[in-house]
Amino acid sequence: MTSTHGAPPADSALSPVPPMPPVPPEEAVTPLMRGIAVLRGLTDAGGAATLSDLGRATGLARSTVDRVAATLARMGYVHLDGSNAALAPRLMELGNAYLAALRLPDLLSGHADALADALDESVSLAVADGDGIRFIHQAIRRRALSLSFRIGDLLPAERTAPGPLLATEWSAQDWSRWRERQLADPEDLGFPAIPRRAHDAATADFPRRVEEARLRGWALDDQLIEPGLVALSVAVRTPDGRIACVASAVSHTSRHSADSLRDSLLPRLRAAVAAMERELAIAPPSETPSGPGGPHRPSGTIGAKGASGPDALEGLRGPTGLVAWTSASKQELGGEFITSLARGLTAITAFGEGRAELTLSEVAERTGLPRATARRALITLQHLGHVTVEGRAFRLAPRVLSLGFPPLSKATLTHIARPHLTALTDRVKNSTSLAVLTDDHVQCALSVPAGRIMDVDIAAGSRVPAYATSAGRVLVASLPAERRAAWLAHVRLEALTPRTVTRPTDLEAILQRVRDDGYALVDDELEEGLRSVAVPVRDREGVVVAAVNVHTHSGRGPAAECVMDIVPELCATADSLEADLHVTGRFVHVPVS
């Protein structure tokens, strides 16, 4: 049984988006504020909603929502299907910019993951966001009864274990804002990741818990979020003593009471936090920007490890191309494209690793935005709480993670691949699938039929011998030499048709050719009349994790024609899928399904 408090309430199609801060500055960009409201609405809806529901949630006119959605779709941030909108993986580059600039996930996530393995409990890292806490890393124990919190989820400080620790650094103004929020939102409706508050015990007790956390250096959550959930937290401090983030071990009462959680886990949690603090003390400032990149697909790169490159948005519409891209988009979409929205969101991508603080001039230089445009975008983002400013330096705030990151951080490879395979099926008019290697077999993770009278029917979850399929050969060919040799040594090669390759030396030569060519084609070897062609899909480290296939009847044309027509389409699909996978996998693990 999986907890479902990350979903919107069942009695409403879409929860209202919290109102924008009052009285925007005169220079604020209204279309940018509207676009962010739509992204927040989609995020709080779990990642998908109708355009009409978004209009009701945001209070925007339907025509405005349509234009915003069209612009976001043009940017690759939203998928549109008629009147339905869904967040697209590319949107995660905004949250990635914040997390990369923050650097804490890169520096500390390994320690959190190791602690989760050692404790066999979920471990999270959280930072302050106003009078709430926002998760920046999750190491979840996957059980039938497990947690559904996601990176980017916002929780009220008073109902969490990290909250009292973070509140030890609150100013009088912070406490005043917290009290105002208690009066304005007594049920915690502004925190869609958790159930509504049923009573005020957590609020009344919060100041005492803060003082206890100040004295003890740790804090407990004893079922304040929901019955059964308990958590223990310790602050991770920078060398100057400030709280950088809070590490938490989370369990449920069938495994621990709050007291037993503290007694059994506190020493190991403190030891892990000490290791994290040593990491922060020795970490040099980063100078080199980094981000997800996609290796090119020349022949002979099936097993190659791709080098990292610029973020997807930066590579597509970077400093030299933004003006041309927005002009072309405006020419193509006309009034449906909102230039100021696209440019405003682009300002967020100026930040990243080695770019935690930027001046206005640096933001303009990195994005290609005119200085005046960058200034208005930053003023708007500061007004909405997505940017902070100190002197001449701008920084991204944790609230950037509210722009789609929580639902997208749970995306699987199958979910990411579906729109790409659907588009491929539409182009080639043949069935397509995504497959992964499981020992001697390949397993179909996703299948998109073409709907022809005579169609290839491969059900998701089905397994077939790897040696006789194009996907299997692509995946085996990508293995390191030792693993590939071991695989060839133990696999049983049986004749499934008269054309099935059954000699190990012949298969070994074929696999080498697949590595050289960058694709595999199999004709009549798994089943008579069945032809398939496949190319690899690589993660952001360049490791082949899946294969994309096109299946057809061998009587529809010669094999050479299939290679000429289908392989380029497959490569284009794999490239676009990899771009999404690289963005999604920057700070989260992407499971197959």
Q: In angstroms, rounded to a whole number, what is the distance separating the alpha carbons of residues 426 and 99?
A: 36
Q: Quick one: pLDDT at residue 586? A: 95
Asked if residue 451 has pLDDT above 80, the reply is no
Phi/psi class of residue 538: alpha, beta or left (left: φ > 0; alpha: ψ in -120 to 50)? beta
β-pairing, 530-538 with 520-523? antiparallel
CA torsion, points 582, 585, 590, 592, in degrees to nearest 10?
Answer: 10
Give me the mean pLDDT over the 437-441 stretch.
Answer: 93
Beta bridge partners, 235, equal: 246
pLDDT of the residue at 359: 97
Confidence check: pLDDT of 319 > 70 = no
Least confident of 190-194, 237-241, 519-523, 574-578: 190-194
Count the neighbouring beta carbons within 10 Å of the beta carbon of residue 508: 13
Residue 39 phi, psi (nearest 5): -65, -40
Quote the percentage of the chain above a pLDDT of 70: 88
Of 301, 203, 245, give the one whose Cα is nearest residue 574.
301
* pLDDT, tens digit (0-9, with 9 covering 90-100), for 197-212: 877 877 889 999 999 9
How far is C-alpha 417 from the geometric centre of its chain's CA atoms?
13
Q: Which residues of 22-44 are buried (b: 16+ CB within 10 A; e: fewer)?
A: eeeeeebbebbbbbbbbbbbbbb
Strand 520-523 relative to strand 463-465: parallel, antiparallel, unpaired? unpaired
| Helix or strand holding residue 48 (H, E) | strand 48-50
Residue 64: count other Cβ atoms within 10 Å of its Cβ.
20
pLDDT band at 593 (very low <50, low <70, confident <90, very high): confident
The DSSP output letter for 358 is B
| Non-local CB neighbours of 344 within 8 Å, separated by 6+ positions | 29, 31, 32, 35, 376, 377, 380, 381
Residue 561 phi/psi, 5-degree rounding, is: -65, -35
Look at residue 316 and tell me whether its pLDDT is greater than 70.
no
Give 551's contacts (C-beta < 8 A, 6+ positions apart).
430, 431, 432, 433, 456, 458, 530, 531, 532
How would residue 140 be classed by pLDDT, with cut points 50, 70 and 90?
Answer: confident
Can you read off the two tokens belonging to residue 15? 């929860």
Q: What is the pLDDT of residue 201?
A: 78
> Taken in order 575, 578, 579, 580, is the CA torsion positive or negative?
positive
* Number of helices and strands in the chain (H, E): 20, 17
Give me the amino acid identity at 45. Answer: A
Closest by Cα among 416, 451, 506, 544 to 86: 416
Would you call 388 exposed, middle or buried from its count of C-beta atoms within 10 A (0-12, 13-18, 19+)?
Answer: middle
- For the chain, how big is the Rg over CA atoms in Å? 26
DSSP state of 575: H
For residue 492 the two structure tokens come to 């049983």
Band of the pLDDT at 149, cuts 50, 70, 90? confident
**For residue 65, what are the contacts with CB-CB under 8 A and spacing of at least 6?**
38, 51, 54, 55, 58
Burial (CB < 10 A; 0-12, 13-18, 19+), residue 481, is: exposed
Average pLDDT, the chain: 88
Judge whether 58 and 65 are in contact, CB under 8 Å.
yes
Written as six digits, the tokens of 454 are 């005579």
Give the model confidence (pLDDT) of 101-111 as tens digits: 999 999 999 99
Could you read off the pLDDT of 151-163 as tens digits, one per residue? 999 999 999 999 9
CA-nearest of 368, 374, 346, 409 to 585 is: 409
Asked if residue 441 has pLDDT above 60, the reply is: yes
pLDDT in tens, 349-379: 999 999 999 999 999 999 989 999 999 999 9
If pLDDT is split at 50, 70 and 90, which confidence band does 148 have?
low
Q: pLDDT value at position 323?
A: 72
Q: 417-438 burial string, b = 16+ CB within 10 Å, else e?
A: bbbbbebbbeebebbbbbbbbe
Rounded to whole angstroms, what are the CA distances from 197 to 11, 82, 132, 432? 16, 37, 14, 47
Distance CA 160, CA 38 (A): 28
How confident is the model over 22-42, as pLDDT tens digits? 788 999 999 999 999 999 999
pLDDT at 338 over 90: yes
DSSP 434: E
Contact 149, 135 (CB under 8 A): yes
Contact call for residues 427 and 414 (beta carbons, < 8 A): no
* DSSP symbols for 279-293: HHHHPPPP-S-----
